[in-house]
């Protein structure tokens, strides 16, 4: 389990670094996310799907934390 967590953490760190580099290449302002997504699509084939997996997991984590703060607990975990 610790090895899997370390691999996930390393993968997330690498994805964040890759995405940061992609963002630096693009201008800010209107259409920034489209340009960011286009940059990821031009990279490795799975880069955009990895980005969405990463952001989805972050959203789930924030939702879990919020639910725990208001008194709800996870069932079956």
Cα(68)–Cα(45) distance, integer angstroms: 37
pLDDT given at position 47: 85
What confidence score (pLDDT) does residue 51 get? 85
Distance separating alpha carbons of residues 39 and 55, to the nearest angstrom = 17
Q: What is the pLDDT of residues 27-77, one digit of tens each?
A: 667 888 888 888 888 877 788 888 889 999 999 999 999 999 999 886 765
Residue 56 is predicted with a pLDDT of 94
pLDDT of residue 17: 75
| Residues recorded for the chain | 77
Mean pLDDT, residues 16-28 taken together: 66
Round to whole Å and give the CA distance between 73 and 77: 9
Give the single-character DSSP code of 77. -
Q: Given this model, what pLDDT does residue 30 score?
A: 81
């Amino acid at each position: 389990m610790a090895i899997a967590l370390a691999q996930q953490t390393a993968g997330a760190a690498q994805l964040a670094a890759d995405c940061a580099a992609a963002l630096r290449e693009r201008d800010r302002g209107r259409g920034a996310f489209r340009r960011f997504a286009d940059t990821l699509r031009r990279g490795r084939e799975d880069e955009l799907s990895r980005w969405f997996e990463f952001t989805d997991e972050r959203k789930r984590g924030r939702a879990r934390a919020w639910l725990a703060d208001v008194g709800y607990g996870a069932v079956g975990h």
